[in-house]
Amino acid sequence: MNLSTLKNLQPMNNFSTTLLKWYSHYKRELPWREENDPYKIWVSEIILQQTRIVQGWDYYLRFVERFPTVADLANAAEDEVLKYWQGLGYYSRARNLHTGAKHIVNQHNGNFPRQYEDILKIKGVGEYTAAAIASFAFNLPYPVVDGNVFRVLTRIFGIHTPIDTNTGKKEVTTLANKLIDKEKTGIFNQAIMDFGALQCTPANPNCEACCFAVFCVAKQKNLQSILPIKSQKIKMRTRYFYYLRIRNQGNTIIQKREKKDIWKGLYEFPLIESEKELSIDEILSDVFLKKMLKKCTYTVETVSPTYKHQLTHQLIVAQFVTLAVTKGNFVIDTPLLSVSETEISKYPVSRLTERFLN
């Protein structure tokens, strides 16, 4: 490719042409790239919402192999869907896929809707995902506007409006609508996302070899580290989790997280949550633990090292305390379950618990 030729193109009038020429040389090979089945495109887009491609690739292949159609997903048990999602995190995505599949079966006779407005009604589908499905599967003229697109357009066109504001989102979306190739919407959307992922990267973008370098405001004014602008800082919350792995004659206790919180629908050991660090004596004196083991004598087998698990707005600091019952039986009530230790692998658990079990 002759980069000098591309650099002479005007950014607005020739944006699509320039971008698609770049894409023809540098596009990524992805398992869903040539896919036109809207169901599989939907699954891939949901997986990639909070997941790097290198991690999501195998999950996608396994997921669509087990649930090859909307009906297969709709008819599956939630626990099985979550098990196939285990390790990806942000489990509301899996639950929304499951709910969305049921919606498509009930409202559209199992046929994936073809109109943008109908796609947008699927549980967990926002404007970005609806645009991706509509353009990739049906070539409808809706631009995808994700983190990559925000970065590319704010840098090239020098947009200083914070992208985490409604005004900023509207400004970039309006620009994307003007730039999109109405004849090749799916390819255009894939191209601009690849350009942000490979060329106009968050750190150390390859500006010297960029086809938009001559016209890029960020390149000309050295604003690559400034754009895009965000006005709000994410507030982090630290939570302390103390898991009780109670062993008794090959059995242990688990519970299913039901509250509207992280990891809803997943299983875990009984949990003591605190706003501060607890000593082992404070853990063993907890009312919850005493109630379960009031008819037992037990010993403390191990106290695990501290596990730190970073989420978007939260830091989970966790320890696993293993207790061995030496006499008597534990007392449990719903939602606690007594299961064989060899059966735990059949239950969907968080990545944090999976790390401990491994």
CA angle, residues 141, 145, 150, in degrees to nearest 5 = 135
For the chain, the residue count is: 358
DSSP 103-128: HHHHHHTTPPP-SHHHHTTSTT--HH
Contact 274, 321 (CB under 8 A): no
- List the structure tokens of 32: 């869903």
The SS3 call for residue 80 is helix
The SS3 call for residue 307 is strand
Contact 150, 160 (CB under 8 A): no
Work out the burial of residue 29: count CB atoms within 10 Å of its CB; fewer than 13 is exposed, 13-18 middle, 19 or more buried. Answer: exposed
Closest residue by Cα to residue 351 from 111, 50, 67, 135:
50
- List the structure tokens of 257: 């997280």
From 34, 45, 78, 273, active-site residue: 45
Pairing of strands 297-303, 271-274: unpaired
Please say if 275 is a catalytic residue: no
Residue 59 — φ and ψ, nearest 5°?
Answer: -60, -45
Q: What is the distance, to the nearest Å, from the Cα of residue 245 to the centroid of all Cα atoms in its chain?
A: 28
Cα–Cα distance, 210 to 40 (Å, whole number) = 32
User: What is the DSSP secondary structure assignment for residue 349, as one 8-state letter?
Assistant: B
Work out the burial of residue 262: count CB atoms within 10 Å of its CB; fewer than 13 is exposed, 13-18 middle, 19 or more buried. Answer: buried
Closest residue by Cα to residue 56 from 82, 26, 89, 23:
89
Contact 270, 244 (CB under 8 A): yes
Contact 288, 272 (CB under 8 A): yes
Residue with tokens 């004196």, as numbered in its chain: 285
**Residues known to be catalytic:** 45
